[in-house]
Amino acid sequence: MLFRYFAREILATSLLVLAALLALFGFFDLVRELDDVGRGGYRMGVMVGYVLLSLPSHAYVLLPAAALIGTLFALARMSEQSELTVMRSSGMSMRQMAGHVAATGLVIAAATLAMGEFVTPHTEEAAKSLRLKATSSIVAREFRSGFWVKEDRSFVNIQDVTADTVLLNLRIYEFDDAYRLASISRAGKATFAAGEGWSLADVEVTRFDGDKAVLERRATSRWNSVLTPDILSVLKIVPERMSVLNLYAYIDHLRENRQKTTRYEIALWQKALYPAAAIVMMVLAIPFAIQSQRAGGLGAKIVLGILLGLGFHFSGRLFSHVGLLNDWPAAFAAGMPTLLFLAVAAAGLAFAERR
């Protein structure tokens, strides 16, 4: 009975907070995008579509913070109305209260997991593709010379990638067993078809045989590669927005080619641990929410929740960047912010229990 009451109050308040935050972030996105309206085919309708498709990504990032603020607000209101005092006088311990809050947090954690795995990777890519098609922009360039990929004994240089994952100005450098340059293939365009691989157009192949070089020109050619549009989606969205499956596939691709995977491993662990962060943040809210009225009213507690949420967000970014620079284990770099806030929550609960 008490669990249902806690769950109803906390979930309702968290949803209201999430809706308010999404409205705020959506408004900021609209203001930012207004400068580009009129560029190419980027019209008002396309801009609104882009902003709407960006909202699920905002929701994924904001869910733990919304859960924290919602829990703070709900518990502070229950404390002001002496409901928590009656519950504790009836024998409910701080541990039991934390259990009710954590169980409610499982719902938000499940929603966060589903959002990050099944919704945001697709909506983020759709939003970027919609904007890129309208503005006729190029997705990304890793270097001035384009995007480089190592595959077995080949090095692939891709100058540009369009919103439809069409590769432009492609070069493939193939080496023999002795790591001598065997051939250079140039293609003006490469398109992907499921089950058939890549189709190259406007192809020039230069083969090296001793002191000779033989040039072949072809209108079209097939290129079999482990690269797929899913793997190349890393060009369109940051690793933190990719699905776990796509991250794992890309990490496996990098390992097979003996390339550094730390950034993507950290992103993978962050994706795996992020749903648990919502539960930790909600439990962290308990000791702050049940403070006396002298510690501040609801407004002060909402501000505190925002500050705690910002602290968690920036600590996650800090450990991610420091871990990448110092080559820390990915699980450590991704998990430390959650562990630190969990320790603070446990200490706060222990202190509140003794009061």
User: Is residue 247 included in any domain, yes or no?
Assistant: no
User: Is residue 125 included in any domain, yes or no?
Assistant: yes
Cα separation, 117 vs 60, in Å, equals: 10
Regarding whether 132 and 151 lie in a shared domain, the answer is no
3-state secondary structure of 107: helix
Cα separation, 114 vs 162, in Å, equals: 28
User: Is residue 241 included in any domain, yes or no?
Assistant: no
User: Is residue 221 included in any domain, yes or no?
Assistant: yes
Burial 110-149 (b: 16+ CB within 10 A, else e): ebbbebbbebbbebbbbbbbbbbbbeebebbeeeeebbeb
Is the pLDDT at 293 greater than 60? The verdict is no
Is the pLDDT at 209 greater than 90? The verdict is no
CA dihedral 296, 298, 304, 305 (to 10 degrees): 160
If we measure between CA atoms, which residue out of 6, 203, 241 comes closest to residue 105?
6
Mean pLDDT of 339-352: 89
CB–CB of 56/120 below 8 Å? yes
Mean pLDDT of 123-138: 76
Regarding whether 183 and 127 lie in a shared domain, the answer is no
Regarding whether 268 and 174 lie in a shared domain, the answer is no
Is the pLDDT at 102 greater than 50? The verdict is yes
Regarding whether 192 and 127 lie in a shared domain, the answer is no
Regarding whether 204 and 100 lie in a shared domain, the answer is no
Is the pLDDT at 222 greater than 80? The verdict is yes
What one-letter code names the amino acid at 323?
A: G
User: Is residue 257 included in any domain, yes or no?
Assistant: no
Backbone phi and psi for residue 212, each to the nearest 5 degrees, phi listed first: -100, 150
User: Is residue 252 included in any domain, yes or no?
Assistant: no
**Strand locations in the chain, DSSP E?**
147-151, 154-161, 167-175, 181-193, 197-209, 212-223
Burial of 72 (0-12, 13-18, 19+ CB in 10 A): buried
3-state secondary structure of 160: strand
Domain range for 219 is: 147-226
The reported pLDDT for the residue numbered 53 is 95
| Residues 6 or more apart in contact with residue 46 via CB below 8 angstroms | 130, 131, 134
Is the pLDDT at 84 greater than 90? The verdict is no
The helix (H) or strand (E) run that includes residue 11 is helix 2-33
- Of 199, 226, 253, which marks where a domain is finished? 226
Confidence bin at 140 (pLDDT 50/70/90): very low
Confidence bin at 238 (pLDDT 50/70/90): confident
Is the pLDDT at 30 greater than 90? The verdict is yes
Regarding whether 155 and 83 lie in a shared domain, the answer is no
If we measure between CA atoms, which residue out of 84, 116, 118, 82 comes closest to residue 101?
84
Higher pLDDT, 242 or 183: 183
Higher pLDDT, 291 or 167: 167
Regarding whether 131 and 154 lie in a shared domain, the answer is no
User: Is residue 248 included in any domain, yes or no?
Assistant: no
Q: What is the mean pLDDT of the chain?
A: 86
- Of 171, 202, 226, which marks where a domain is finished? 226
Regarding whether 196 and 97 lie in a shared domain, the answer is no
Owner of token pair 């590669």: 225
CA distances from 288 to 7, 48, 99, 124, 350 (A): 18, 39, 16, 35, 12
The reported pLDDT for the residue numbered 291 is 65
- Of 178, 201, 226, which marks where a domain is finished? 226
User: Is residue 169 included in any domain, yes or no?
Assistant: yes
The helix (H) or strand (E) run that includes residue 86 is helix 83-89
The reported pLDDT for the residue numbered 146 is 75
Q: Which two tokens stand for residue 32?
A: 């930012």
Mean pLDDT of 301-305: 73
Mean pLDDT of 134-159: 72
Is the pLDDT at 148 greater than 90? The verdict is no
Mean pLDDT of 67-82: 88
Confidence bin at 339 (pLDDT 50/70/90): very high
The reported pLDDT for the residue numbered 136 is 57
If we measure between CA atoms, which residue out of 316, 131, 121 comes closest to residue 308?
316
The reported pLDDT for the residue numbered 351 is 84
Regarding whether 152 and 127 lie in a shared domain, the answer is no
Regarding whether 7 and 60 lie in a shared domain, the answer is yes
The reported pLDDT for the residue numbered 297 is 63
Regarding whether 199 and 82 lie in a shared domain, the answer is no
Structural domain total, the chain: 2
pLDDT over 70, % of the chain: 93
Regarding whether 86 and 28 lie in a shared domain, the answer is yes
Is the pLDDT at 138 greater than 70? The verdict is no
Mean pLDDT of 307-336: 90
CB–CB of 161/147 below 8 Å? yes
Question: 37-51, 159-173, 328-342: which has the highest mean pLDDT?
Answer: 328-342
